[in-house]
């Protein structure tokens, strides 16, 4: 009896996460090439369109445009994908399948976010290199990028998951996620310098993870690295942990029924 109970003991959290992460990546083994192309073209088109107007304002604005579009791809692209995937799992009974497994909700949420982040990495690197070349923005990459890039992607992925577990209808969840994306995009110095943002929006942006993501990416990618980078990373990590805990608490394995 004791031996039987040991066999059914759940695996450690990290083992669960890695298994679910590999499972998540395998779901996209046939479509990852098309996903990379789309994820690369979208921020590049937006970057070049904004650059046509930003050239008149100098290199600082161009630097904000480049890093801001990378943040949009990292944060909001992953948020949209996680929201859509979680909504799909709910509507198609996928959560019922996961309910039969001895896994933790936080491991599932983290693995889905990490899988989409991994798929977005090639397009992010291409966007950075191409944007720097086309806009003439010099890069001074820091080793902190290894922490900053995932720290930028995960907070809004958690928001996408939270919207998916709150809203039953997939189309409605996608609409709310898009609305949230547009609101945070225009809130503060994400793609434009702070002196070109309405003061009230600049103040409210301190409540938005997008502000800290944009600031962290500029510091780690363009330099100089200051104490502000540590603050930005700490805020992004804290936001990710809080949102992931909220999603796990709110998510019902049997929500599809």
Ordered by start, the domain boundaries in the chain are 29-250
Q: Given this model, what pLDDT does residue 256 score? A: 43
Whole-structure pTM value: 0.82
- Greater confidence (182 vs 26) lies with 26
Bond from prior residue into 126 cis (ω within 30 degrees of 0): no
Q: Give the pLDDT of residue 5.
A: 45
Segment 104-133 mean pLDDT: 86
* pLDDT at residue number 193: 85
pLDDT tens digits, 5-37: 444 577 888 888 888 898 888 877 777 777 777
Contact 48, 123 (CB under 8 A): no
Q: What does the angle CA 57 – CA 60 – CA 65 come to, to the nearest 5 degrees?
A: 85
Q: Residue 4: what pLDDT?
A: 45
Q: What is the pLDDT of residue 253?
A: 63
Q: What is the pLDDT of residues 185-217, one digit of tens each?
A: 777 788 888 888 888 888 888 888 888 998 999
Q: How far is CA 199 from CA 102, 181, 195, in A?
A: 50, 20, 8
Q: What's the confidence (pLDDT) of residue 144?
A: 92
* Count of other CB atoms within 10 angstroms of residue 35: 17
Average of per-residue pLDDT values in the chain: 82
**Per-residue exposure over 125-153, b if at least 16 CB sit within 10 Å of its own CB, e if not:** ebbbebbbeebebeeeebebbebbbbbbb
The reported pLDDT for the residue numbered 220 is 92
pLDDT in tens, 124-147: 888 888 888 888 888 898 999 999
| pLDDT single digits (tens) 207-245 | 888 889 989 999 999 988 899 999 999 999 999 889 888
């Amino acid at each position: 009896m004791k031996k039987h109970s040991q066999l059914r003991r759940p695996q450690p959290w990290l083992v669960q996460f890695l298994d679910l992460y590999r499972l998540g990546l395998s779901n996209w083994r046939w479509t990852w090439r098309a996903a990379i192309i789309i994820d690369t073209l979208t921020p590049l088109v937006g970057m070049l369109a904004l650059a046509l107007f930003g050239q008149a304002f100098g290199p600082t604005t161009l630097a904000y445009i480049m890093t801001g579009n990378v943040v949009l791809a990292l944060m909001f692209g992953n948020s949209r994908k996680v929201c859509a995937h979680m909504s799909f799992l709910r509507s198609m009974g996928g959560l019922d399948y996961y309910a039969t497994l001895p896994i933790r909700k936080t491991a599932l949420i983290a693995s889905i976010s990490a899988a989409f982040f991994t798929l977005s990495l090639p397009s992010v690197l291409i966007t950075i290199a191409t944007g720097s070349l086309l806009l003439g923005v010099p890069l001074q990459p820091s080793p902190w990028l290894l922490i900053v890039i995932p720290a930028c992607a995960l907070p809004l992925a958690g928001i996408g998951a939270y919207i998916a577990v709150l809203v039953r209808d997939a189309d409605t969840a996608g609409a709310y996620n898009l609305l949230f994306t547009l609101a945070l995009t225009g809130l503060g110095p994400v793609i434009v310098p702070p002196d070109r943002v309405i003061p009230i929006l600049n103040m409210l942006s301190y409540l938005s993870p997008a502000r800290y993501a944009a600031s962290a990416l500029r510091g780690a990618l363009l330099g100089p690295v200051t104490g502000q980078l540590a603050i930005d990373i700490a805020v992004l990590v804290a936001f990710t942990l809080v949102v992931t805990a909220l999603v796990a608490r709110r998510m019902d394995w049997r929500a599809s029924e």
